[in-house]
Structure 1
Amino acid sequence: MKSICVFCASSLGNDPIYSETAFELGKFLAENQIALIYGGAQVGLMGKVAAGTLSQNGKAIGIIPEFLKTKEIAHASLTELITVKTMHERKALMHDKSDAFIALPGGFGTMEELFEILTWAQLSLHQKPIGILNVNGFYDPLIQLVETMISSGLLKQEYKGMLLISDSIEDLISQMNLYEVPFVTKWNELNIH
């Protein structure tokens, strides 16, 4: 993997472990010559992951819509800051520039980005690894919800394998490097007309 897109909050949250982990993830990417692709802000966890990458002279590429440049406070010291018009353009460009995706803790925006990229994988629009860095159990309720979706017959068991999960940066990146797309019976093979 030459580039990883990180989805995360534009706020810091109330547990210092979130900021510390975001910074460490950024450092890890730089130390392993993996470019950071992210939302382009200098605030919150987004700012921390960029700071971690830049602290090791890594490549940090931000993608931010014009209307968010003041709200999220665009990072002025990135390797590259790309300004787009819409959130849709932002996400499409993040996808195009990334070999994989990692979600750190975040709010609605992070969840929306994570689920959209998962849905694209489910629809075979890409075959890139997607991971959750489960910092301090932040994603435990979401992991349980995925199990509920499966047990309720609303999500195929095989799709669970599209979401890699770890509380360790090194382990998550290792899983991503070994990722193989799960085989799932496609709709057209079910003879549904």
Structure 2
Amino acid sequence: MGRRALKKLDPKIDLSGHFRTVEELPAPWNPAELFAKEQPLEVEMGSGKGLFLQTASGVCPEHNFLGVEVRQKYALHAAARLARGSRTNGMAVYGDGLRMFRECIPSASLAAVHVYFPDPWWKTRHRKRRILNEAFLNDIVRTLLPDGRLHFWTDVQRYFDATLELIAEKIALEGPVDVNEKPAEHDLDYRTHFERRTRLNDEPVYRAEFVKR
């Protein structure tokens, strides 16, 4: 399934309230510099074009949502979605998400971490590049609040099974909790664009949720 070309951004859209680079994040960490209100924060690792950020920030205004994306054009596109929707509780960040977790986000500060359809790195010699490795999973545990949650979805069963095995053996998270598939009520009623493409092609999505106790 190939990616559709991104539409050209409207230069009139003001992204200043919805876009940062990792280097521009506040140090020391201070979410009050990023969002209109101080409230529970959820982070999406690999936000793509920002469908999850747009939807979640709208249906859950009592939480803040930050999405980090390594491809600048996608991060800008996600920021534009938030700006068009006047989402004062949404922020798109461009840069290395692993670095952001490691260097910027303090311990016990996140209500949830979302990882949807990460690159599976199919070749055996490339699997060390998978984002859900032991080091990053431990950073997720460190940054989650007690009862904070990790949401993990993929369309690759081998990746799913390997990640669940790694968490069970080495990571201090409780789970997995099964996540039911919700019928889509309209064309964009999916968590991400990748979920939409996968389900419209009648391919399975593997979902799990974990809790920090």
Which TM-score band (shorter chain)? 0.3 to 0.5
Give the structure with the higher percent helix: 1
